[in-house]
Amino acid sequence: MRVRDDPIPEQAVNGRLIGVDLGGTKLAVAALDGAQLGEARQVPTDLDSSDELIEQIAGAIEAAAGSGAAAVGIGVPSTIEFATGRVKSSVNIPLRDVPLRELLRERLGVPVFVDNDANCAALAEAHDGDRQVISDLVMFTVGTGVGGGLVLGGRIYRGATGAAAELGHLIVGLDLEDGAPAAAERFPQPGSLEALAAGRALDRLAAQAAEASPDSALGQLAASGEKLTGRDAVEAARAGDEPARRAVRLLGERLGVGIANAINTFDPEVVAIGGGVSAAGDLLLDPAREVAARFTLPGVGERTDVRLSRYGPEAGLRGAALLAGQELGAERAGAPA
């Protein structure tokens, strides 16, 4: 592993750093003191409107900050204009063309920094505690959707507009025999990694497995009137239910195609897999590794470690708080992060 030669300015801050991980199903907030991340506060995400969601975020930050905070970092599953903290568009939450950084700075009275949630998770995975140890890393967050984050040359890579690394929208399963079909009216597009390998795809695979195998654990759960979810598939797979294991394996194989694309493009030191679906562990990771190896060009990725997130569900939270400290330190040093 290579440590970056030009580290981002240290967190010369007094007070708590607050990390916020906003997802399509839950909002989590925690405070970071040095390398120690406090207990996360979690609530279901308010999806009724952008105004209500912003109010929920602000209230959760105020509760976590307690006596005060030096800065707040927020990871959002959206395309972000990083320089201004404006949310340009979102697939799974009601935020579109919202100046989130400005609104929350006015409400909270502290510096606020907003980035894509997978960028934040990637930043955490490139660190050992509060010390950066990985220079080139690709992050896949597999939850409600599929997010992507890049750390290249020791820095988060955001692209020309701040919206880079939307790896969930890689096309991995499109039939082009008769030419490219017409695009769907909304994202995720058919054939994209998010359409095929996100938690919602595992929901569908679980329902299909239950219908095909009514005597299985998933089949019996469905017969009881429960609406099956990907989480049920993961739990049943870990308990040894074979139809559930096949469903998780298929999801891992689909993810492996996306991982191969990332390795062929970036040749990173690490590909990390996080998000709620990563709770399946080796049941997801093993098929993802197998398929990624099959589709990676010989000679590329020879040093790439494909692994689960070291920080698990807290990666986004930790990375958001690290982002807050780095950006605040850069502001005070007068240097771009």
pLDDT tens string 23-63: 888 999 999 987 889 999 999 999 999 999 999 999 999 99
Phi-psi map region of 162: left, alpha, beta (phi>0 left; psi -120 to 50 alpha): left
Look at residue 3 and tell me if it is in a domain.
no
Cα 273 from chain centroid (whole Å): 9
Are 99 and 181 members of one domain?
Answer: no
Are 100 and 232 members of one domain?
Answer: no
**Contact (CB, 8 A) for 14 and 61:** no
Are 184 and 143 members of one domain?
Answer: yes
Span 272-286, average pLDDT: 94
pLDDT of 176 reads 87
The encoded tokens of residue 111 equal: 């510096």
CB atoms under 10 Å from CB of 297, counted, come to 10
Are 125 and 151 members of one domain?
Answer: no
Are 47 and 20 members of one domain?
Answer: yes
Amino acid identity of 322?
Answer: L
Are 103 and 73 members of one domain?
Answer: yes
Which of 332, 303, 326, 278 is CA-nearest to residue 119? Answer: 326
Look at residue 266 and tell me if it is in a domain.
yes
- Give residue 86's domain range: 16-133+313-333
Residue 335 has pLDDT above 90, yes or no: no
Question: What per-residue string of b and e applies to 84-116 under the rule 16 or more CB within 10 Å gives b?
Answer: ebbbbebbbbbbeebebbebbbebbebbbbbbb
Span 120-149, average pLDDT: 91
Look at residue 318 and tell me if it is in a domain.
yes
Cα 66 from chain centroid (whole Å): 27
CA-CA-CA-CA dihedral for 239, 244, 250, 254, to nearest 10: -70
Are 199 and 185 members of one domain?
Answer: yes
Are 43 and 114 members of one domain?
Answer: yes
CATH code for the domain of 203: 3.30.420.40
Are 306 and 163 members of one domain?
Answer: yes
Look at residue 124 and tell me if it is in a domain.
yes
Span 106-125, average pLDDT: 94
Look at residue 1 and tell me if it is in a domain.
no
Provide the 3-class DSSP secondary structure of residue 288: helix
**Contact (CB, 8 A) for 124 and 315:** yes
Are 124 and 242 members of one domain?
Answer: no
The encoded tokens of residue 294 equal: 């099959």
Domain count, the chain: 2
Phi/psi of residue 256, each to 5°? -60, -35
Cα 287 from chain centroid (whole Å): 20
Contacts of residue 330, Cβ cutoff 8 Å, sequence gap at least 6 = 8, 9, 336, 337
Question: Over the stretch 298-320, which tens digit does the pLDDT of each residue have?
Answer: 999 999 999 999 988 789 999 99
How do beta strands 155-156 and 146-152 pair?
antiparallel
Look at residue 4 and tell me if it is in a domain.
no
Span 321-326, average pLDDT: 92
pLDDT of 185 reads 80
Average pLDDT score, the chain? 90
Distance CA 171, CA 167 (A): 9
**Prediction pTM value:** 0.84
Percent of all residues in the chain with a pLDDT value above 90, rounded to a whole number: 71
Which of 32, 205, 22 is CA-nearest to residue 104? Answer: 22
Are 143 and 129 members of one domain?
Answer: no
Look at residue 7 and tell me if it is in a domain.
no
Look at residue 319 and tell me if it is in a domain.
yes
Distance CA 318, CA 123 (A): 9
Are 108 and 161 members of one domain?
Answer: no
